[in-house]
Amino acid sequence: MSRSESVFSLSNQESGNQKKIWRILGFCALLIILYIPFGIALNVSADIDLASVRIIIPAFFLIWLAAAAFLKKKLLISSFQGFGLIAIATISAASLAFASELGWGIRKLAVFLSIFPLYFFIAGLACKKIYYQKIINTLILGAFISSVIGLTQFFSQFFVGFPALIRLYSGTIGPIFWGGSFSGLVVQNPSWFVSVGGGTLMRAFGLFPDPHMMAFFLGLVLPLAIVKVIYAKKTGYFLVACTVIMLAVLLLTFSRGGYLGLFFSITVILFYSWTFLDRKKKSVILTGSVLSLLILLIFAVPIVSRFISSFLLSEGSSLGRLQIWKQSILVFLDNPVFGKGLGNYSRAVDPLAVYRNPITSHNLYLDIAAETGIFGLAAWLFLLSGSFCQLAVSLKKDRAAPDSKTFLKIGLAGSLAYFAVHSFFETSIFNPAILACLMIVLALISVNLKPARQ
């Protein structure tokens, strides 16, 4: 064998080994994505619960980073998204200088620093078309399994009753998946029940601590499932079943913020996809929409009434939320530039509050503004609105030749729309599963944004 032939053979062997390593890393990343909604909590101490995903993500990120450097892989991410995440982390850290409870802020900052790395290695993985599709499919699979668990939990109330389910969640499920300390807070201040039609129902929440977080997770993933159904050339009955079940469970969370987020998400999907659809699919969508509306009006009056109550300012919980928002605005105005410090909103409202407390603004934007000031709010808005606007620009360019990736872009736009709207009613960024899902959505968006930088 000549020298040139031996060098060529060695080069091929190295290339094959590199591909094998990258495939293993890709498979592990998909397992992490699937694990996110089912992650167990580690009871570090009586007062500290640590979601295992917050250890797995940084550990895998370091392994992936070392492998990428060794294999000389190029990381392509959206420059403005990367800047947005760094700005959020930096401003949040700077706000701790004004925190009355520094330890609280450090613990919240640690959530960001342990979950943000997910964006970078998913963005690097999603650059390859095969992984781009697999990431989305894995997200949908995880959301589907989570929905089945939520559906089982919801219907169990009619067979075993509230007391048995409360004992199960407070004694077994809560400590395993939420941690001993946090599950105690959840049980003391549950949002598990809703009054409908003069009766009380346990809302769907599955393995999440409350229905709103489950609605957030499903709302981020459901638009991707919807667009896959829309653009599919052949009807995939399993995918349709997954989508229907996810939609049903989201409705059974009775989360009004979730309902509004879903409404705007579907509006965005239809707005961008309508011109790409043929007459047959348009007819199917219109017929399905009318039938769904009739079913809701006839058989799901509690869901419809719950949605309508979102717009009634005279309704009790709406009045309470408005009072909380006014209070949050006053906290923000007290220190509009630097805020009260990340994680310190509850202490600003109640000087006697402990770390584990249910006090929030019930509005992501007000929480961010109150804790990190106008610059912190600007950084989050820059990241979210900038991602959406660049997606919109990319979709405008796709009008001439739409493909499956075009529809997935539309789904990602729907996911962002859902998150942005539901966030007017709840703060979800400190839930590791929701923040991780948001990072995955942003990473998938980064693949579609131009220009991308190394």
Helix segments in 178-278, DSSP class H: 180-188, 211-231, 237-252, 256-273
Task: Say if residue 409 is exposed, middle or buried (CB neighbours under 10 Å; 0-12, 13-18, 19+).
Answer: buried
pLDDT tens per residue, range 111-156: 999 999 999 989 988 888 888 999 999 999 999 999 999 999 999 9
pLDDT of residue 357: 81
**52 burial class (0-12, 13-18, 19+ CB within 10 angstroms)?**
middle
Distance of CA 162 to the CA centre of its chain: 28
User: Which segments of the chain have a pLDDT < 50?
Assistant: 1, 3-14, 451-454
All structural domains of the chain with their residue ranges: 12-453
pLDDT digits (tens, 9 = 90+) for 159-199: 999 999 999 999 899 999 998 888 887 888 778 998 877 78
Cα–Cα distance measured from residue 243 to residue 226, given in angstroms and rounded to the nearest whole number: 7
State CA 247 to chain mean position distance.
15
C-alpha of 427 from chain center: 11
pTM exceeds 0.85, yes or no: yes
Q: What is the pLDDT of residue 309?
A: 60
Distance of alpha carbon 375 from alpha carbon 379, whole angstroms? 6
Q: Are 206 and 216 in contact (CB under 8 A)?
A: no
Q: What is the DSSP string of 117-182?
A: HHHHHHHHHHTSHHHHHHHHHHHHHHHHHHHHHHHHHHHHTTTTHHHHHHHHIIIIIHHHHT-HHH
